[in-house]
Structures are given as C-alpha cells and as structure tokens.
A and B are shown apart, each in its own frame.
Chain A
C-alpha cells in the first residue's frame, strides 16, 4: 500500500495502463512537458514519448474527433479535457460519434476511448471551471460514465475504464484531487467498476452520492450518528450503467432515502434515482425521497459557491426532513 493523492493515483493508473498495452495513448492540451494543468500526466511524456502522450492543438472537438479516428485504427485513446466547462466544444463528437459508432457499425467498430474530465466545484475557480455535466452523458446511450470518489478508487477505475471496449466519460472530482488514500498499487486489478459501493450501513436513512459528494455524505453520516440517526452511505460510482440494486435493498430496510449531487437537482441523476426508488421501494418508504443538489442556476461566481454546493449541513437538513415525516 502507498499513500497517494488522487492526482498521483491517476498518474500511476495511467502509467500502468500504458505499460500494459502499447495501444494506449494520451491526448490533450498541455499534458506533455507541463503534465496537465493538474499534473495528472506528470512525467508520462518523458517516459512514453511524444507519440503516446500527445500535446494537441487547442481544440476539444479536434481532440475527441481525432481520438475517434485513432480508435478506428485500433488505438485506445485517453483524452484529457482540461475542465468540465470546456467539454462542450467536443459534445457533438462525443454524443453523435463516440457514443453511437459501435451501434451504427453493427458491432464492427468499438470505440475504446476514455474521456477524462475534472469536474465539480469547490475550488474557488472562475466561470466554466466548476460544472457538473454528468447527466448529459449518462442520458446518452452508448456512453459509460464513471466517477471515482477517492484516490484508491481512481487508481483502479481509471485502468478499468481504459480496458473497457466501450467509451467511458471519466469524471474526476477535482476538489478531491489532493485528498490522500492508501492505494494498493501492487495487486492485480479485479472486480467491476460498474456497480455501487456500500460504504456504511445504518438503520434509519440511505444516503446516495457519487464523486465529490461521497466524502461529504460520509461526514454527514458521522455527524448524524452523533445525534442518534444512523445512515447508510452508498457510492454509485458508475452513472451509466446505474447499479441501483444495493440502493433498493438498503431503502427497503431504512424506508428513507436522500440523494446528493453538486449538479442542479432539476432533471439530475438524483431524479432517476428517486424515481427508481419510488417504483421499487414504494411500500417500504416512510418518507418521500429527498434530493439535495445545486439550484437551477448557472454555476455562480465562486463567492457564492459555499451556498450553492451541498455541504454537511444541507445533507443533515435533508436527513431531518425525511426523519420528521
């Protein structure tokens, strides 16, 4: 075991994937000598060369579109989009080409492309640097969507995403980039990333989150426990596919569910979770499913973000609401 930040864990995971498969290429802006603006690719161009760690022109559609061509030729490109708000110039290529190509080719041409996107807020950044676009991608058949909650997860799931023959939108919670965890970087990678993880079990409320909000929920569950309310915490980890069986099982026991994400509540991933829980746990529910997330406003200037982003207190407030029904 090694203590690594999420940035270091991703770097190690990328390095291992490149060592294991010569077809793995990295592409993106400033990922070469600079190592990416967050340093996730630090040192990789020096070790793997400019043909495998490609500093591209500054054009996101160009990066993803050329990745499609490389995938057609048998490569496995791993694309870095510098920030969440900059993925939209590539949105057309992702939604119309990356997501659909295996389908439209009748299964002949897979698209083993990983698109890494640092996402979410909480770092005091300027406009377009704090967004949570996951629902767009999870809503698009043909894409898989993964988001690691901590460094240990990041080390394993980035390699699993690269090994997948399907395209994966890989959302890195940038506010957790510098959090440390013990990472097992010696054992072989095993298990499936396409399932939820039950991180804590409690009898009263089921908290469902992913990415940056997992830590927030663990902290809220700890605080609630001190007040005598016991919460389960489930990390969805994969947003497509969405593995709700562990959530349903847990809610059938607790009867109460709160879903938390940074993205606006309106038509967010939490809406799908709430609808599925209502369908499948209708006779077990003691309270309506609560959703905690961003307001229906563009991501605000960062002096507002402490109010915009869900925090421990807002999760506790929602727990109070479902407990008081």
Chain B
C-alpha cells in the first residue's frame, strides 16, 4: 500500500474516478446517500438533546464521521454481517436499526437494542476491540457454511492498540477469513490523540499480518463506499481479509459526559469543519444537478418527523418491571437465578402489601 488517502470527491465536489475503485454514480445513489447522512445527523442531534434534557443517561455523538459509515453501510450486501462500536450511527441507520430501539440502551432499560438477525449487525460491545474477534469467528462460520457473504468489522483508532484487535488480525489472516476491518481513524480516543496509539499510519499495520490495506478519505462518502465495496467483494470471493483505514474526525465529544475543550484546540476543529462530509456531497450534487428544493424539503420533513418520533417515544418512557432483570441470564433454567428471582418477588410483594 501507499500512505496516500483515496478520495473520489474533491473539496469542491468534483467526482474523480479512481482506477482501482471504479464506482457508478447516478442521481438516485447520490440522493440515497444524502438522505442517509441527513437522517443520521438528525438522529445524532436529537439524541444529544434527549441526553441534555435528562431523558438519556448518555449518548455517543457521531458528528463528522457520517460519510465513512454511510458509505461502508452501502457497501454491504443484505446478507453480509457487521460488527460495530457504539458510534456507528450511520451504519445502524443504513442497516435499518430502529432509532428508538437504539436509545433503549442509553435510556437504561436494556443492554442492547435490536434483533441482530433482522439487521445483520451484531450487538455492539462496549469493551473496546472485543468484537473484532467475534467478527473473525463469524467469518470463519461463513467459510464453513460455504456462504457468499462477508463481514464488516468496525472499530476506531484507539481499539487498534488492544490485544483483541491484534489477535483478530492474526486469526483472520491465518484462516483467510472473509472479513474487512473498517477502522475509522477519528484522530482521538477520548482525550488521547492517535499518535499515542501509533507512530505510523494505522493501515501500515496490515502488512505485518499479510493483508492488503487502503487508506480512504472518511469524509468522502463515495470513496468510502467504493473502497469498502471492493474489499468486501474481494473477501466474498475468497481472497481473505483486508484493512480499510477511513481517515476522519470526531467533531463532537467522545460522549455527552466528555469535555473536548480540555484536550484539543479550536483550530483543529475548524479545519475539520471545513471538510464537512455533507457539504462535500452537497457541492457535488449541485454540480451535477442532483439536488432540488423539493427533494431537500422532503428529506427535511422526514428528519423533522424522525426527531418528533424520538422525542415522543423516549420522554416519559416507563421503567421496566424489576423482575425483568432476571430474564435470559441463561438459555436453560438455572436454580440460583430462579431462587434469587423468587426472593425479590416475595420482597416486592411484601412491600406492596404493607
């Protein structure tokens, strides 16, 4: 690989085809990408607002990374499978995760939010990097099933320092597993800059495992789509794992509990604001005449409706039945859970009776 970062859209919004990653681009595709980025951004803003008004315990903002994620989501086929971090809001949206269900976790009524079988995304893990291994195991299962499928394994620059991500790369290469590691290098792991994780581009690590790597402009939705699709196609065809480093930037805080003013300066933020992924797509759509006022109004109305739906579903959501905490600890009956449940039920009943 080279250290060059692949872009298809110039900052002015001109489309340049890349010889290795050709992409057919029509107005319909551009409009679908526009819609997905706008709705992801609205979901992010509304969820942050719900946290700020005390309706959610936490939220992990995605601002700045939407293009990387939406592009990767469009690169997946319906039967492909993804493993993500908590921040892949764009990918959740593209795969059809219900945005209300997603907030159940942040509301504190559930540890997880969606049915993995329906959306083809594993539940995200909160321990950093753990799911990289699950991705590889799942891909080994695809191999054994002889299925025409591949796995997209998303994590961030911080996770590349973990042992589990290293072991995931070793296993993926050893078994030639159909998995694409999609690393969003958003420059920061909470307050620690990427040069504390790696002193060379993250993608250079892939060579040591014997897998190809590409650096792609993560603020260019078309480049993210083209590169990730090529790597997933390659994995499905049996050519083995690959590594994509999407170079992007987390413009918001790590979570709503974070304060980035303590560790990064305004100039850096302004620089990345000038590289906004939605602005770049809009410039291209204006150049080719793919954006008109009616379309923008329709998507804005859809975003407004999404916001209204999130607010009305989350505000005042009832707490769960206390005995629900005993559900599904085991798949088969376990006497200890049963007796602890019975004890709590008796205690609660006695409290109600008195």
Contact = CB atoms under 8 A, between A and B. Distances in A.
Interface of A: 25, 51, 56-57, 59, 61-62, 64-75, 89, 92-93, 96-97, 100-110, 112, 141-142, 144, 164-166, 194, 240-243
Nearest to B174: A57
**By CB atoms of chain B within 10 A, which of A57, A59, A89 has the most?**
A59
B266 to A, nearest CB: 37
B116 A69 contact: no
Interface of B: 110-112, 115-117, 122-123, 125, 127, 130, 132-145, 163-164, 167-168, 170-171, 174, 327-332, 334-337
14 contacts: A56-B171, A62-B170, A65-B133, A66-B136, A66-B137, A66-B171, A69-B134, A69-B139, A72-B141, A106-B112, A106-B327, A141-B337, A166-B332, A194-B335
Contact of B134 (A56, A65, A105): A65
Contacts of B163: 61, 89
B329 A61 contact: no
B205 to A, nearest CB: 16
B138 A106 contact: no
B134 A61 contact: no
Given A66-B171, A96-B127, A104-B112, A73 B145 contact: yes
Contact of A102 (B115, B143, B171, B330): B330
A90 to B, nearest CB: 10
B112 A59 contact: no
**By CB atoms of chain A within 10 A, which of B137, B171, B332 has the most?**
B137
9 closest A-B pairs (Cβ-Cβ)?
A69-B137, A65-B133, A73-B141, A62-B167, A66-B137, A107-B328, A104-B111, A165-B331, A69-B138
A103 B324 CA distance: 11
Nearest to B111: A104
Nearest to A111: B331
Contacts of B136: 65-66, 69
B199 to A, nearest CB: 24
A105 B116 contact: yes
B329 A141 contact: yes
Contacts of B116: 72, 105, 108-109
A103 B123 CA distance: 12
B167 A110 contact: no
Given A61-B163, A65-B133, A69-B141, A165 B332 contact: yes
Contact of B130 (A93, A105, A106): A93
Contacts of A92: 127, 130, 164
B125 A70 contact: no
A178 B330 CA distance: 34
B329 A142 contact: yes
A57 B170 contact: yes
Given A56-B171, A61-B164, A70 B137 contact: yes
A242 to B, nearest CB: 7
A220 B111 CA distance: 49
B166 to A, nearest CB: 8
B127 A68 contact: no
Contact of A57 (B112, B171, B330): B171
Given A66-B134, A105-B328, 19 more contacts: A57-B174, A61-B133, A62-B133, A62-B170, A65-B130, A69-B133, A69-B139, A70-B137, A72-B138, A93-B133, A102-B329, A103-B111, A103-B328, A141-B336, A144-B330, A164-B332, A166-B334, A240-B334, A243-B335
Contacts of A51: 143-144
B140 A166 contact: no
